[in-house]
């Protein structure tokens, strides 16, 4: 992105449109997750092709076609945010506590690498025990540090480097309004891997993107969401 006022306004518009899209997706998915997914795919396709802040290089936008795995209803979950299993000695619970130990236990701030540039400061705020058909796997849930912040859930899996981008994909990024919802009262989040998407650097290396940390590298293929081939 060029350093001009116009470009910042265009970036704000990109984020505004994503925020509207995810609000529509949450409303649709309550009764028809398939319709919500189709709407998400179609709208993102238009943004990829037509918006000035598309991560797709300008010369490739007019013919760009997003690729996706088939919809898999077994990869949509509502899961509790679990307390951290190894908190610092002085850590204390924060946020709501739900059933079976659900809730958030904050840990010390850390950083994860970026595709280019300096590491991104964040805080792990809990864990998600995701009951995949192949067995439960645990993923770290993060809060991006800095003004405003936002929940963040990147992951890597066994499709990376062949069917999907080598550095992983995202399912939740509160800074960009990419949020499928949840229930604050019970301490749960909706995690639907059919909405997994590639970071901007998958399309053009000039973009700086946070990379999934080792604790979020799954040992199984997640054939849902965006794919490259």
Whether 100 shows a pLDDT value over 60: the answer reads no
Mean pLDDT for the stretch of residues 68-85: 93
- pTM of the entire predicted model: 0.86
Could you read off the pLDDT of 1-56 as tens digits, one per residue?
445 567 999 999 999 999 999 999 999 999 999 999 999 999 999 999 999 999 99
The more confidently predicted of residues 149 and 103 is 149
Domains in the chain: how many in total? 1
Give the model's confidence band at 101: pLDDT under 50 very low, under 70 low, under 90 confident, else very high.
Answer: very low
What percentage of the chain has pLDDT greater than the value 90? 71
Could you read off the pLDDT of 158-199 as tens digits, one per residue?
999 999 999 999 999 999 899 999 999 999 999 999 999 999
Could you read off the pLDDT of 46-63 as tens digits, one per residue?
999 999 999 999 999 999
| d(C-alpha 48, C-alpha 68), whole Å | 14
Give the model's confidence band at 82: pLDDT under 50 very low, under 70 low, under 90 confident, else very high.
Answer: very high
Give the model's confidence band at 91: pLDDT under 50 very low, under 70 low, under 90 confident, else very high.
Answer: very low
How high is the pLDDT of residue 87? 41
Give the model's confidence band at 113: pLDDT under 50 very low, under 70 low, under 90 confident, else very high.
Answer: low
Residue 108, domain extent: 5-227
């Amino acid at each position: 992105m060029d350093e001009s006022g116009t470009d910042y306004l265009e970036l704000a518009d990109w984020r505004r449109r994503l925020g509207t899209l995810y609000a529509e997706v949450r409303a649709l998915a309550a009764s028809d997750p398939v319709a919500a997914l189709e709407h998400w795919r179609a709208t993102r396709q238009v943004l990829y092709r037509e918006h000035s802040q598309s991560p797709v290089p300008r010369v490739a936008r007019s013919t760009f076609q997003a690729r996706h795995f088939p919809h898999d209803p077994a990869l949509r979950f509502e899961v509790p945010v679990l307390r951290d299993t190894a908190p610092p000695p002085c850590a204390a619970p924060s946020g709501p506590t739900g059933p079976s130990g659900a809730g958030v236990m904050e840990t010390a701030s850390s950083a994860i690498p970026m595709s280019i540039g300096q590491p991104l400061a964040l805080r792990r705020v809990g864990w998600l025990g995701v009951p995949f058909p192949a067995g439960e796997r645990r993923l770290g849930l993060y809060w991006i540090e800095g003004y405003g912040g936002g929940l963040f859930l990147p992951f890597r899996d066994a499709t990376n480097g062949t069917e999907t981008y080598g550095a992983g994909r995202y399912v939740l990024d509160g800074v960009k309004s990419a949020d499928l919802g949840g229930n604050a009262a019970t301490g749960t989040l909706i995690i639907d891997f059919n909405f997994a998407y590639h970071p901007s650097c998958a399309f053009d290396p000039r973009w700086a993107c946070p990379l999934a940390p080792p604790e979020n590298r799954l040992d199984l293929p997640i054939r849902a969401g965006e794919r490259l081939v």
